[in-house]
Chains A and B, each alone.
Chain A
């Protein structure tokens, strides 16, 4: 896929949703490299079977999330991802995420402290990758979500991701719908829909030698929140062992996902891959200084 074709993606922007998204951690990119590429991951996620250079992978990611908003240090988010090609046209994947594991201070309605409480959110899922035709790949995945925000406020949900990708030479285009599923109900009187998102993404690779440039872009729409988002990433791979990455995430600064720029580095030594991402955001943005680190292996 050594093409010197650039792909321009028209980004459709919509009004910012009226509400933030519940269990938003399930929409984070799978690893630090994708975070460094502005979060672009649609084609990467759906068209794994098109990449023939390995039979499986496993990686673990740690996010240093919004350190400027936590005086006592950042609140970590942990992810693990595994993938295995089981044949020429079939593969499976599994993933898990842990977020918001922290102790919080209880305060009553008058500001009187009480006994503290803990929050924790989890997600675990399995996916099936299938290539019915040479240029087409599909993905189906199911995730189980558990969100325990406080004592007596916990909810569970099941989410499904569906995606299809088309690969043509060095271009990959994918369409995916994520987080179709049941609602979360924390309180007796309200239930909240999962942050369903429809994403269209593409990735194009320039060059076929020792150095390549990989450009990826996603555009999406969140029906419940009625807001749009867009992501753009560029990766320069040098000698096949080092990556320099940059990206931009465009979102709603007020209610959905904020806009920020990203930068990252990656290294590949034998089976192992190490990547890091750093979020560059405005001075007042909570996202500033957010970082992610991934250690993985391909085999």
Chain B
């Protein structure tokens, strides 16, 4: 609650601040326009190059707790700041939410402001929130065709305006009529402006029957794919979660399942997987073989641009969505307008790389464990491009048909591969599908990138399976390219070569696993095996374990898990485990070893092991949970931990019968904090119940009774007596514990009121003392009120006399105007007082007891006006002075 109040207060300040700024803007003399800049990661960015009205925030842990435990307050906070909306960048991912949180993606939030408000103001407002987190300004997203590539033409047989210089190549492999113009797949050098071999060399793959498999899903992050295109429809992915026309992907620009067909997106998709050998249009690299009944890879349309390309969506969310829906390759022909790629997008790329092809339990579920994100390098002929230059991406540059870097392609050491992108100045372009059952030649790195994506899909289709990982794919793609340095091209790497990537590696499988040991803990089987040798590579790349709870030979659904041996070598012992099995059941297991190419050894002998029983979770607390007592003024925090001894996921639930006193906050994995607020309910006896279940239903509960005790008001032990303070050298400090006492032991709030603050300052300190600081000579009445958390109070009043103790007696007032003269001393004393009149007569003489707060009083009312002399003599001092008496009656 303290955080919430603090943030709301800051929000009000921010609003006032904004209001002031607005007024200033309305009345200020116009100044020369100056480019607004925002600072991110220590670097200034021009605000005009950024998305207006939108920032992305990675919340701190503390703020994330607020967002998730009190979403209303969280939204109110941003609403007060002027935000139109605030929403998670990566929505709840259902069964994949756990790994999303592990990746930290749940902490990213998109905050939308009025686009007319300067972005710098939005940033300033957010910066006022204490401990908000990392604020990310968003560079604009552009699709690469929107800049340099404007030329296009229809396929030669479909339009009379086709380029007559283009010559059709003969291809016997497929009957697709326009395959002859797709030099970029296999270039025999007969086309004008082309050289033999400047292609992705996919024809040999097709000749070996490697045409793609539907298990491989490619997410196309682009404009929408024309899913009804006659040459694509058969290879469109179908989302099993929905039906009808909503199955082909997701439209992230409008947050709907309805895809809007787009030429660019459809062109990219056609290169990857236009349907082959269907007698229609063009071929795609991994488009299958329609006539042979072999479907190609599946195209998932993740629409992040509207057809005009001027509006972009949240690409980071789309990339992650692809991984969570089965894609293992992410095709991207877009980029940012400026600078380094935003961290949220990089986080999404990392997520795809790690979790694509993996199920919610971390096991390989697709043809490849982990994904690969491919990005076009961009068409500005720059040395940089984001996010393509991120090391987690495969960046693809464009070559023309004669092994030269195109005039437009971005370049640099960060580029990973090249591929044909076409170049209108020098030769043929890239022919593929466009929306409306049409075909067109395009050029650009947008066209080059899907060539690599298609080759990657082809290799995964052929080599993917248990144990196949993204690293294995990348090893093949990056290390088996067509060299172009001999053509004098050094600023971009070699051209992706499909057949070389497929053929250019080991054909010899590792030796089989011969030595292993099995054990079981709960429903997890642990194994230990000696790594066999790989005859040609020394050490296998990984181990595959096949397992089933039925007789091994007859089981149709034998499952598997693959493990990379990483730094271990042949002969070393490798340890692994198989989690989430059935309890108390006998399992049969076999092992094999595989190399980087995916060659698997012969299986080992079958081993058997019986899994154990399920144990209930455990709840523990370092704080005693017995006889918990909360006084009505206090808040008590109980830190509780819980875990499952079997290592299973656990799910806590919380109940409280006080209706307000107890609340729970989950502070981390296996940790929670129960807050008991004694002020929230009436005194009484209550209990809360914490139940923790594992994901197999075993549960444990603790019931914690607690008592909210009645408040005891504070009492006064004794009065604070009147105090004389010597202004010259005294600053008394009183210990309040000597005067006030609270049986509950709570810290009392002490407030002081002083009748004359010019005389003395009285204040309570944090150490429960009363500090008295004299300011000037005089008297003041002081009231000290001590109150407990419930507002019960106790009061003590006293007087403070501040005087100069070097003067024995205070004789006052002077002049005397109301007939009363007082004589006061710093301490109790008996003194002789003599008052003589102007003519020398003794008008008063007597002995009186006087003190700091009981001054002697002399009646001067009957005396004439004049100057009188006063002499006060005690045992220790004598003072004479003159006073004026004014007769007033």
Question: Does B837 reach chain A (CB closer than 8 Å)?
Answer: yes
Q: A110-B779, A286-B842 are in contact. Are A153 and B837 (CB under 8 A)?
A: no
Indicate if the CB atoms of B838 and A104 lie closer than 8 Å.
no
Do the beta carbons of B836 and A102 come within 8 Å of each other? no
- Contact (Cβ within 8 A) A257 B813: no
Measured between C-beta atoms, what is the minimum distance from A223 to chain B in Å? 15
Q: State which residues 377-435 of B face A: CB under 8 Å.
A: none
B-contact 0/1 string along A12-41, CB 8 Å cutoff: 000000111111110100000000000000
Question: A22's contact among B776, B803, B824, B866, by CB below 8 Å, is which?
Answer: B866
The answer to whether A270 has its CB under 8 Å from any CB of chain B is no
Chain A: minimal CB distance from B416 (Å): 87
Does A236 make an interface contact (CB < 8 A)?
A: no
Given known A24-B839, A186-B887, A252-B841, contact A108–B812 (CB-CB < 8 A): yes
For B888, list chain A residues within 8 Å (CB): 187, 189-190
Query: What A residues does B841 contact at CB under 8 A?
Result: 20, 251-258
Chain B contact residues: helix, strand, loop or mixed: strand
CA distance A187 to B884 in the complex (A): 13
| Size bin of chain B's contact surface | 35 or more
Fill in one digit per residue for B816-860: 1 if any A CB lies within 8 Å of its CB, else 0: 010000101000000000101111111101000000000100000
Closest chain-A Cβ to B701's Cβ sits at a distance in Å of 70
Contacts of B776 in A (CB 8 A): 112
- Complex Cα distance A117/B838, Å? 18
**Residues of the A chain whose Cβ atoms lie less than 8 Å from the Cβ of B865:** 22, 147, 149, 153, 155, 184, 186-187, 192
Complex contact B839–A27 (CB within 8 A): yes
> Is B889 interfacial (CB 8 A cutoff)?
yes
| B864–A22 touching, CB < 8 Å | yes
Q: Is the CB of B812 within 8 A of A149?
A: no
Most B CB atoms within 10 A — which of A20, A24, A75, A105?
A20
Q: Are A110 and B869 in contact (CB under 8 A)?
A: no
Beta-carbon contacts under 8 Å, A213-240 to B: none
* Cβ–Cβ contact A286 & B869, under 8 A: yes
Quick check: is A100 within 8 A (CB to CB) of the other chain?
yes
Kindly state whether residue A71 has any CB partner on chain B within 8 Å. Answer: yes
Query: Cβ of A106 and Cβ of B814 under 8 Å apart?
Result: yes
Our pick among B759, B840, B863, B886 for the contact of A150 (Cβ within 8 Å) is: B886
> For residues 537 through 586 of chain B, which have their beta carbon under 8 Å from a beta carbon of chain A?
none
CA distance A234 to B888 in the complex (A): 42
Residues of A within 8 A of B777 (CB): 111-113
CB distance from B271 to the nearest CB of A (A): 96
Cβ contacts under 8 Å, B886 to chain A: 149-150, 153, 186-187
CB contact list, B511-541 vs A, under 8 A: none
Contact (A100, B867) CB under 8 Å given A186-B886, A254-B842: yes
Q: A111-B824, A112-B776, A149-B865 are in contact. Are A24 and B842 (CB under 8 A)?
A: no
Q: Is the CB of B842 within 8 A of A111?
A: no
Query: B810 near A187 (CB under 8 angstroms)?
Result: no
Q: Say whether chain A's binding surface is mostly helix, strand, loop, or mixed.
A: loop
CA distance A119 to B885 in the complex (A): 11
Docked pose: A110 CA to B882 CA in angstroms: 17
- In the bound complex, do residue A149 and residue B803 qualify as a contact, i.e. CB atoms below 8 Å apart? no
Partner among A104, A186, A192, A290 whose Cβ is within 8 Å of the Cβ of B840: A290
Q: For B814, list chain A residues within 8 Å (CB).
A: 104-107
Contacts A24-B837, A284-B834, A286-B842: A69 and B871 contacting too (C-beta < 8 A)? yes
Which residues between 50 and 103 of chain A lie within 8 Å of chain B, taking CB atoms? 65-66, 68-71, 75, 100, 102
The smallest C-beta distance from A257 to any residue of chain B, in angstroms, reads 5
Q: Enumerate chain B residues within 8 angstroms of A102, measured Cβ to Cβ.
A: 867, 882
Q: Which of B776, B838, B843, B880 has its CB near the most chain A CB atoms (within 10 A)?
A: B838
Q: Would B811 and A20 count as touching, CB distance under 8 A?
A: no
In contact, B887 and A153 (Cβ under 8 angstroms): no
Nearest B residue to A71 via CB reads B880
The reply to whether the CB of A146 lies closer than 8 angstroms to some CB of chain B is no
Contact present for B822 and A286 (CB under 8 Å): no
The reply on B681 being an interface residue by CB < 8 A is no
| A287 located at the interface, meaning its Cβ lies under 8 Å from any Cβ of chain B in the complex | yes
Closest-CB distance, B524 to chain A (whole angstroms): 85
Complex Cα distance, B845 from A71, in Å, reads 18
* Contact between B882 and A20, CB atoms less than 8 A apart: no
Question: B778 an interface residue at 8 Å Cβ cutoff?
Answer: yes
Q: Is A20 touching B839 in the complex (CB atoms < 8 A)?
A: yes
Cα–Cα, bound, A260→B867 (Å): 21
The contact of A70 among B811, B842, B864, B869, by CB within 8 Å, is B869
Show the binding face of B for A, using Cβ within 8 Å.
759, 776-779, 803, 810-815, 817, 822, 824, 834, 836-843, 845, 855, 862-867, 869, 871, 879-884, 886-889
| 7 smallest beta-carbon distances between A and B, as pairs | A107-B812, A24-B839, A286-B836, A20-B837, A69-B869, A112-B778, A22-B864
Q: What are 30 A-to-B residue pairs whose CB atoms are below 8 Å? A: A19-B864, A20-B863, A23-B838, A24-B839, A68-B871, A69-B836, A69-B871, A100-B838, A102-B882, A104-B867, A106-B815, A107-B813, A108-B813, A109-B812, A111-B803, A111-B824, A112-B759, A112-B778, A149-B815, A149-B865, A149-B866, A153-B817, A155-B865, A252-B841, A254-B842, A285-B840, A286-B834, A286-B840, A287-B840, A290-B840
